[in-house]
Amino acid sequence: MSRITLSRFLIEQQRKAGTLPPELRLLIETVGRACKAISFSVNKGALAGILGEAGTGNIQGEAQKKLDVIANDFLLDANEWGGSLAAMASEEMELPYHIPGEYPKGEYLLMFDPLDGSSNIDVNISVGTIFSILRCPAGIDHPTPEAFLQPGTEQVAAGYTVYGPQTMLVLTFGSGVHGFTLDREHGSFVLTHSDMVVPESTQEFAINMSNMRHWEAPVKRYVDEMLAGKTGPLGKDYNMRWVASMVAEVHRIITRGGIFMYPKDARDPDKAGKLRIMYEGNPMAFIIEQAGGAATNGYQRIMEIQPKGLHERVAVFLGSKEEVERITAYHQQS
């Protein structure tokens, strides 16, 4: 049997009535091509002189790596001319990027974190790209930030690419989650993981334990119970993992289960969390939910939150449903 490439998979989904509109198919393919280009740059690393700091900062006040800038440019350049988009927004830019006047405009909005986990680049640990696609509200020709401020339930597609030992693109457009591995010899993503499912229960968790002293009481309670192991209230031993790359953490969870947590903490009580709802929280919640998992901010489903800003932050608890429901219940009880 012949291998199913990303292009073939999307065309077959388009042929199923109402499953995937042609413009959305083309947009996903274009994002995939940009991710291939990013993968090749990540893979070259020091050979291409692209490691280290860029000497600039992003809108978040974070120092940018050279590859942050390169990845952002790849996604902008690849997607500005195809005719599917009304505008784009990036974690690296303060305001939306408008489609140049010489190119046709489409009905979709693209948001992305061009290189998640970029602090790992120089030490050769997995990083990734996260993207989310919305419909542009009707009657808007020049989208402002407000056009993007839609709850995650309005997403029409989301995905991530993990640049690890293999480069994988994981994708949903509301009918399950599918994984594609980059075949470098042929230059195409090939379907290798159909209908990916997050196990309901787990014995693995991911959290930055160095922040423990800053956590709220429900998070401390939950982690203490996991660390208590078989003799504790949860009655089983847990393993901890922490890669400091959300893409890598989520990919592990969607492959073998687990829970990823990035809670708010006492260092900046006015911030709801560290991760951005538009570029990280919503797309990853969409993917995890489509794979049978759950994603909340501790109190409510992430995808039901109404965003108030393009770079708004959110607390994140996502992964195996049983564990996410437990930590959410602890927050609600408190």
Rounded distance between C-alpha atoms, residue 264 and residue 315, angstroms: 5
Which residues make beta-bridge pairs with 40?
Answer: none
Has 113 been labeled as part of a binding site? yes
Give the residue among 57, 106, 139, 62 at the shortest CA–CA distance from 98: 106
Has 115 been labeled as part of a binding site? yes
Phi, psi of 179 (to 5 degrees): -115, 140
Rounded distance between C-alpha atoms, residue 250 and residue 256, angstroms: 10
Contact 317, 298 (CB under 8 A): yes
Using a 10 angstrom Cβ sphere, with 0-12 exposed, 13-18 middle and 19 or more buried, the burial of residue 81 is: middle
Has 117 been labeled as part of a binding site? yes
Has 80 been labeled as part of a binding site? no
Query: How many CA atoms does the CB half-sphere of 252 hold within 13 Å?
Result: 20
CA angle 65, 69, 70 (to 5 degrees): 110
Has 249 been labeled as part of a binding site? no
Rounded distance between C-alpha atoms, residue 205 and residue 255, angstroms: 14
**Amino acid residing at 316:** V
Has 10 been labeled as part of a binding site? no
Using a 10 angstrom Cβ sphere, with 0-12 exposed, 13-18 middle and 19 or more buried, the burial of residue 231 is: exposed
Phi, psi of 84 (to 5 degrees): -95, -20
Rounded distance between C-alpha atoms, residue 109 and residue 155, angstroms: 10
Has 195 been labeled as part of a binding site? no
Rounded distance between C-alpha atoms, residue 329 and residue 30, angstroms: 41
CA distances from 110 to 46, 139, 152, 287, 326 (A): 30, 17, 13, 16, 33
Compute CA 193 distance to the chain's CA centroid, rounded to the nearest angstrom: 18
Has 224 been labeled as part of a binding site? no
The annotated binding site for Mg(2+) is made up of 91, 113, 115-116, 280
The annotated binding site for substrate is made up of 116-119, 208, 274
The annotated binding site is made up of 91, 113, 115-119, 208, 274, 280
